Chain A
Amino acid sequence: GEDVEQSLFLSVREGDSSVINCTYTDSSSTYLYWYKQEPGAGLQLLTYIFSNMDMKQDQRLTVLLNKKDKHLSLRIADTQTGDSAIYFCAESIDNQGGKLIFGQGTELSVKP
């Protein structure tokens, strides 16, 4: 069945770049997403990429998609302590984006 895999932890220094990686299995996914969960809160959509794109940039965030390898990454430039959170990769497995499969989440720790 569909599966999304992420590493569980990442620790970086403030000001460095963070790269969070994700692999997925469903090659027919229309959209792929990055959600952010801050402590004690629900998830919020951070960014998404349409499956026919290779890259999307939004301020400090860069999303790279390698469809051949089914690999998605999120790069956060100039990482700040406020970026400390859990980041979830997700893929849609229906055409409407309603049914999402989430990865395990990567806990990003930013040290001053």
Chain B
Amino acid sequence: EAQVTQNPRYLITVTGKKLTVTCSQNMNHEYMSWYRQDPGLGLRQIYYSMNVEVTDKGDVPEGYKVSRKEKRNFPLILESPSPNQTSLYFCASSSLDSRGEQYFGPGTRLTVT
């Protein structure tokens, strides 16, 4: 089954404790992206990657890191989480010739206290 998986689905952590949210897709997609969803703000892109070893900042990259060492994986790293990073995070992937049909993961709800 074609899918994007994210782990964990729910995470409660404390300020400053490094964490990683994993994202994996099994569709051989070139393009992968991370978004955060906040009430009234819709989805805002954090980072994206056009292919292996190619990453770029989205609209709200501060406080986040990513890597793309393999085509299928695109982890999101929070080196020192802060309460303003409490949010719902989505990973998405698409083929570069897909007319923008992005496949979304189920989301990771992160709470930073």
**B48 contacts which chain A residues (CB < 8 A)?**
98-99
Contact A31 B99 (CB under 8 A): yes
Query: Is residue A100 within 8 Å, beta carbon to beta carbon, of the partner chain?
Result: yes
Q: Is A10 an interface residue (CB 8 A)?
A: no
Contacts beyond the supplied A96-B96, A97-B98, A102-B35: 13 A-B pairs with Cβ under 8 Å: A8-B40, A31-B99, A41-B107, A42-B90, A43-B90, A43-B92, A44-B104, A97-B100, A98-B31, A98-B94, A99-B45, A100-B45, A100-B100
Which of B43, B97, B104 has most chain A Cβ within 10 Å? B43
B78 interfacial contact with A, CB 8 Å: no
Interface size class of A (residues with CB under 8 A): 20 to 34
- Known contacts A97-B100, A98-B94, A104 near B40 by CB under 8 Å: yes
Q: Which residues of B lie under 8 Å from residue A90 when comparing CB positions?
A: 100
Within 8 A of B (CB), among A30-79: 31, 33, 40-45, 48, 50
Cα-based distance from A48 to B94 in the complex (angstroms): 15
With A98-B94, A99-B45, A102-B43 known to touch, is A42 a contact of B100 (CB < 8 Å)? no
**In the complex the two chains form, is A43's CB within 8 Å of B104's CB?**
yes
Q: Is the interface of A mostly helix, strand, loop or mixed?
A: strand
- Taking each of B97, B99, B105, which has the highest tally of chain A beta carbons within 10 Å of its own beta carbon? B99
| CB<8 Å pairs between A and B, sample of 29 | A8-B40, A31-B100, A40-B107, A41-B106, A41-B107, A42-B90, A42-B92, A42-B104, A42-B106, A43-B92, A43-B102, A45-B101, A48-B100, A48-B101, A88-B42, A92-B100, A96-B31, A96-B96, A97-B98, A97-B99, A97-B100, A97-B101, A98-B31, A98-B50, A98-B94, A98-B100, A100-B100, A102-B42, A103-B42
In the complex, which of the residues B43, B90, B96, B107 contacts A98, with contact meaning CB atoms closer than 8 Å?
A: B96
Q: Please indicate the chain B residues that have their CB under 8 angstroms from the CB of A97 in the complex.
A: 94, 96, 98-101
Is the CB–CB distance between B96 and A45 below 8 Å? Answer: no
The answer to whether B102 touches A100, judged by C-beta atoms less than 8 angstroms apart, is yes
